[in-house]
Amino acid sequence: MISDKFGESGSHTQQRRLPSLLALRCFEAAARLENFSRAADELHVTHGAVSRAVRLLEEDLGLALFERRSRRVYLTADGRMLAHAVSQGLDLMRDAVAELRARARQNQRWVLSCEPTLLMRWLIPRWGDFQARYPQHTVHLVAGGGAVEWGRGIDLAIRRNDFDCGRNVQMQLLCAERMGPVCHPDRLTQFFASQSDGGLALRGDATLLHSTTRPKAWEDWWKTRPNQPSAQIRQAQAGVGLVLEHFYLSLQAAAAGLGVAMGPQLLVQDDIAAGRLVAPLGFVPDGSHYCLLAVERWGAGSVQQLLADWIEQQMKS
């Protein structure tokens, strides 16, 4: 007689066949918790689904795996044997999946969005150091400002916290923003006057360089200097001087001797060290901070934390 089944009952093939993996998962949770309802909660299914899965498993094996007493269940000797084997098997699978996910994260390409001026004038000149330290991580740099469009493939972003980053965005402060007037060294006496106390003050007729991307930079700086003439404050508020589209263009114009720009210490420190700019009045905090942003939480040893620690170290050096 020819059977239309793949294997007859009691055959070696039939004995080696695995039951449903879903049924085994339900059984393992119920065996570990000794409660069908708690197993259902853990697996996000109904109590009935766990009960049916276990019943079908018992029918498949031809053995009782639980003793049902009132509202509790207890493993039989056969149930304990199967529970031990299934638990070991699931642990092996979890370990393998965790290792594969870790490998995938190591090979993942990360996209870091950074404010354009910070990217060009500060991050890119230092980026080789990060690549040398962490060659196993691939991080692509893109320019971007303001609110982050996370849905367009951005994993991380560096921004100043001068806008609402969103309720679910993770944030790590990197360093405070410090601002001050900067100009070309050869234009120092043209734009700044000596004071009786030996210090310098911005001349009233100095050409101020503004940008449309940070239009209140001068106004905010004047607020930190309460003894300055009100005429100069009004001049800053009115945007008198030369207005450029981007912030980095105002710094470039200052380096070209066209006027005095409001410069963040972080972004002009290399130009000051190279003698392209001077900051005769120093720098003061403006109340904002540079931050590393992400939509996913990160832990110790992750590429996000490595990047945050590296940026913070570079900003303090």
Question: In this model, does residue 12 exceed pLDDT 90?
Answer: no
pLDDT value for 94: 86
CB atoms within 10 A of CB 48: 10
Name which of 157, 193, 125 is nearest 291 in CA terms: 157
The label of the residue with tokens 């449903």 reads 20
pLDDT value for 276: 96
Look up residue 107 and give its two tokens. 């090979």
Could you tell me the pLDDT band of residue 3, with boundaries at 50, 70 and 90? Answer: very low
Look up residue 247 and give its two tokens. 């912030």
Model pTM score: 0.62
Q: What percent of the chain has pLDDT over 90?
A: 49
The label of the residue with tokens 């940008």 reads 211
Question: In this model, does residue 163 exceed pLDDT 60?
Answer: yes
Residue type, 36: F
Question: Residue 262: phi, psi to the nearest 5?
Answer: -90, 110
Could you tell me the pLDDT band of residue 153, with boundaries at 50, 70 and 90? Answer: confident
Which has more confidence, 263 or 98?
263
Report the run of H or E that residue 106 belongs to, with start and end. helix 77-107
